[in-house]
Structure 1
Amino acid sequence: MKRNPIIPFALIAIVGILAVIVISFVGVNQRDQIANGGESDESAVIEPETIYEASCLGCHGTDLSGGAGPALSAIGSELSLDEIKDIISNGTDGGMPAMSGTLSAEEIAAISEWLSEKK
């Protein structure tokens, strides 16, 4: 009796494809947890300093002193919380891009509150 050499390869391929599908579903569920540094969504704490470092530092400087964008070290004494939130969300004509497409509403609220305390 002669054995078909393709059957073992087909079985290995099917097992491999099933493994990839299972791993993909597991990975999708873990993506948010990994993005939050291992914390679950319910216990995720939004750190405004981290948001600033990732999204604002390039234009406003490491110490809020400005650069391509204006200084933010005393922005809370110049603008209200709502004005800061509006600028971050919608941008300005002078070059500040709208961050509503990049940051979540919770992140915008957190960084706006943090900046409004800079007086």
Structure 2
Amino acid sequence: MAHNQDGQDQEVHFVGDSRVKVNEKKLYPKDYSEFPGKTEAFFPNFLLKEWMVAVVVLVGFMGLVMAQEPPLGEQADPTNTSFLPVPDWYFLFLYQLLKFKWASGPFVVVGTVLVPGFIFGGLLLAPWLDRGKERRPMKRPVATGLTLLTLIAIVVLTWEAEDEHQKQLASLPKGDESVEIVDQNDPAYDIYKNNACVNCHGQQLEGLQGPSLRGIGDSYTSKEIIEIMDEGKGEMPAGMFQGTEEEKKQLADWLAKQEAPEGKGEKKSQEHEE
């Protein structure tokens, strides 16, 4: 304590060992660590932290995208009526939702606008709709219940959509599954999957609109397969192969290797090719 000129006691703050009073106020806001249990300023403190985390996640995600080649499906073909289109996995629940009678047909607006709008609109407005100070899930039954219900619905609808798609694929006509694909690691297999032939003969050579190619090497030589590619055969039009001559030769040689196990086919005599 110190005395002023009037003899009254007055509390005085000193800087170090000097006797200079500290009268000026701080020109910067107090740090929020001085207030335990309180929140911090949204801008710029909280927003800066969120952006830093988002940058790290985005860099990691882009690294994975560039390092891993994305799996591509079959080439688009309007003549392939057996193709079963499905959306990406994160939209499967909405795809399955449109199969219900109350969300499709004359009520398609419900499945395409109202329900998705209610879900995503609720997520967007959540900070304004739920402004309670309580953060424990058990103390927030409405918000917790709606969140769990939404998550369960998404998981169930996604599983149902994938399960139904697999059943539809299994119902498509298959070739002789006892005849396995020969040398699936051959680059010619990738040439096959990236061309129009996959639309009729299937990813696994099982045959969709066209015949199965499993065991085709028992019936045709490489030269004969090239002739079919160039001239067509049956319902297959000519000129369906869209690759180079070298790729065509490579594919024909690989298809000629597709032989059935012993006793399941009769191999034609191979012609000498230069």
TM-score w.r.t. structure 2 length? 0.25
Whole-Å Cα distance in 2 between the matches of residues 99 and 47 of structure 1? 21
Match of 2:151 in 1: none
2:200 counterpart of 1:98: no
Indicate if the aligned counterparts of 1:77 and 1:118 stay in contact, CA closer than 8 A: yes
Per-residue deviation, 1:47: 2.4
Whole-Å Cα distance in 1 between the matches of residues 225 and 199 of structure 2? 18
Does the C-alpha gap of structure 1 residues 65 and 100 become closer, same or farther in structure 2, counting only changes over 3 Å? closer
Amino acid at match of 2:200: C
Does the C-alpha gap of structure 1 residues 82 and 106 become closer, same or farther in structure 2, counting only changes over 3 Å? same
Match of 2:255 in 1: 115
Amino acid at match of 1:71: S
Whole-Å Cα distance in 2 between the matches of residues 72 and 53 of structure 1? 13
Q: Partner of 1:59: helix, strand, or coil?
A: helix
Match of 1:23 in 2: none
Following TM superposition, the consecutive aligned residue runs of length 4 or more in structure 1 with deviations greater than 6 angstroms are: none
Q: Partner of 1:106: helix, strand, or coil?
A: helix
Q: Deviations over 1:54-79 (max 9, x none)?
A: 11211101111111111101000011
Match of 2:209 in 1: 68
List alignment gaps of at least 5 residues for structure 1: 1-45
2:234 counterpart of 1:88: no
Does the C-alpha gap of structure 1 residues 65 and 47 become closer, same or farther in structure 2, counting only changes over 3 Å? same
Amino acid at match of 1:99: G
Amino acid at match of 1:72: L
Indicate if the aligned counterparts of 2:222 and 2:256 stay in contact, CA closer than 8 A: yes
Indicate if the aligned counterparts of 2:241 and 2:248 stay in contact, CA closer than 8 A: no
Indicate if the aligned counterparts of 1:89 and 1:108 stay in contact, CA closer than 8 A: no
Whole-Å Cα distance in 1 between the matches of residues 241 and 222 of structure 2? 20
Does the C-alpha gap of structure 1 residues 76 and 61 become closer, same or farther in structure 2, counting only changes over 3 Å? same
Amino acid at match of 2:192: Y
Does the C-alpha gap of structure 1 residues 69 and 100 become closer, same or farther in structure 2, counting only changes over 3 Å? closer
Indicate if the aligned counterparts of 1:59 and 1:68 stay in contact, CA closer than 8 A: yes
Amino acid at match of 1:63: Q
Per-residue deviation, 1:101: 6.6
Indicate if the aligned counterparts of 1:91 and 1:99 stay in contact, CA closer than 8 A: yes
Match of 1:50 in 2: 190
Q: Deviations over 1:51-104 (max 9, x none)?
A: 111112111011111111111010000111111111012212x22132377221
Q: Deviations over 1:7-52 (max 9, x none)?
A: xxxxxxxxxxxxxxxxxxxxxxxxxxxxxxxxxxxxxxx9211211
More RCO (CA 8 Å, sep 6+): 1
Does the C-alpha gap of structure 1 residues 67 and 106 become closer, same or farther in structure 2, counting only changes over 3 Å? same
TM-score w.r.t. structure 1 length? 0.55
Whole-Å Cα distance in 2 between the matches of residues 59 and 89 of structure 1? 16
